[in-house]
Amino acid sequence: MGSEKGTVLVVDDDDAIRRLLRRSLERQGFTVLERAHANDLIKDVAETKCDLILLDHMMPGTSGMDALAKLREVKSDAELPVIMLTGRTGREDIIRAFRVGASDYLTKPPSLSELFDRVEANILLRTRSDRLLGQYRLVRRLGEGAMGTVFEAEDTGSGVKVALKVLHNQFGRDEAVVARLFDEARVLSQLDHPHIVKCYGAGEALDAFFLVLEFLEGDNLKGQRLDVPTIAAVGRDLCLALAYLHERGCVHRDIKPANVLRTPDGKTKLFDFGVARRVEAEHTTMHGVVVGTPVYMAPERFIGEETVASDTYSLGCLLFELVAGVPPFSSRSATERLMREKSHASPRLMSVAPDVPPTLDEVVAELMDPDPRRRPSDLLVVAKLLDSMATP
């Protein structure tokens, strides 16, 4: 029978590490179970009914990462948190772990005080029905990305339903990532537009950093193919949102389907302003700094230059993908090859969707012009063109 604090399953092929973790966690009041390999992790989980797993990566037989991927097919992060505890320290390893489904990431040898905090916080945040994060009661998990988890939550003071974007604990120790979260809150809190998600602030509680956003029903547009009237309506709404944003001297820098939500009643909302910034001059150069998603980025951004027209290009890529089902350039292209491809004429929408209206084909081609000076300078005009094809 597990303790009140919870049952932790330690999966590691190193006997000494398992013994250390068992003794240390049991002194803190946890029940601890051990496994020397991850070959039967799903079966072990069913038999032990654990509350959290501490999982090594490099083990004989099934690796921790492969075992986690299989586990996530039957147990979500909300149902069973998994902390990767490994000697691998590379940022790519950390990102991959979160993409596969890790709840947190610690490197060996761990600080025991930090380990205790992470284990307790993950069990508290992910498995208890009465979990609180500051003044917010977490209701359910809405989704998860490489950097954090989004929860439906309730403000216990006002009763208002909100969405909390909570950084993964690993990134809560990264000052640059935390600063970016608060920058996102600062940028969003100054914006008030029907097609931009509202932000109510940012905070910290239980060593977790989070963003407080308006709660929205619906799905993002990643992987979706839509009919032309709906695509035109999405494009119109995003043109209006970007025109508003650009008028205030801001660029989003990460326009892509995954950062656009469509509500059940047909509203389009642009979100994820984590890499947004102000453009102090008409033309800004950021040497050595490239942020965003390469497959949707304008060619000039690969050499550290950007204007508001860089968002315009990304919008064209987004509309192309909503029609064609694939982005105009391969996401498998190496960055240099991708930059060379984008520096030449972009593929025409009609080449992959012959039945698309000529007006939409022309709009997308103009938005994706390799030369930022030739892209439409007035997105309100583009919005009117798209509105003529849009769903009422």
- From 3.20.20.70, 3.40.640.10, 3.40.50.620, 3.30.200.20, which CATH number describes the 132-214 domain? 3.30.200.20
Active site residue 56: no
**pLDDT bucket at 5, cuts 50 / 70 / 90:** confident
Assigned fold of 7-127: Rossmann fold (3.40.50)
For the chain, where do the domains classified as CATH 3.40.50.2300 start and end? Answer: 7-127
For range 239-244, the mean pLDDT: 96
> Please, which residues have CB within 8 angstroms of residue 334's CB and are 6 or more apart in sequence?
none
**In CATH terms, is domain 219-387 a member of 3.40.50.1370?**
no
> Please, which residues have CB within 8 angstroms of residue 111's CB and are 6 or more apart in sequence?
none
CA dihedral 251, 204, 190, 312 (to 10 degrees): 20
CA dihedral 235, 241, 243, 244 (to 10 degrees): 170
* Catalytic-role residue among 12, 51, 104, 254: 254
- Average pLDDT of the residues of the chain: 85
Task: List, for residues 325-365, the tens digit of each pLDDT value.
Answer: 988 877 666 565 566 666 677 789 988 888 999 999 999 99
For the chain, where do the domains classified as CATH 3.30.200.20 start and end? Answer: 132-214
- Residue 278, pLDDT score: 61
**Contact 300/372 with Cβ under 8 angstroms?**
yes
For the chain, where do the domains classified as CATH 1.10.510.10 start and end? Answer: 219-387
**Contact 30/21 with Cβ under 8 angstroms?**
no
pLDDT at position 214 over 80: yes
User: How are beta strands 82-86 and 52-55 bridged, if at all?
Assistant: parallel
77-81, 170-174, 245-249, 294-298: least confidently modelled range: 170-174
**pLDDT bucket at 172, cuts 50 / 70 / 90:** confident
Q: How many residues does the chain have?
A: 392
**pLDDT bucket at 304, cuts 50 / 70 / 90:** confident
pTM (global) more than 0.85: no
**Short-list 266, 232, 279, 239, CA closest to 255:** 239
Task: List, for residues 18-62, the tens digit of each pLDDT value.
Answer: 999 999 999 988 999 999 999 988 888 888 788 899 999 888 889
172 vs 198, more confident: 198
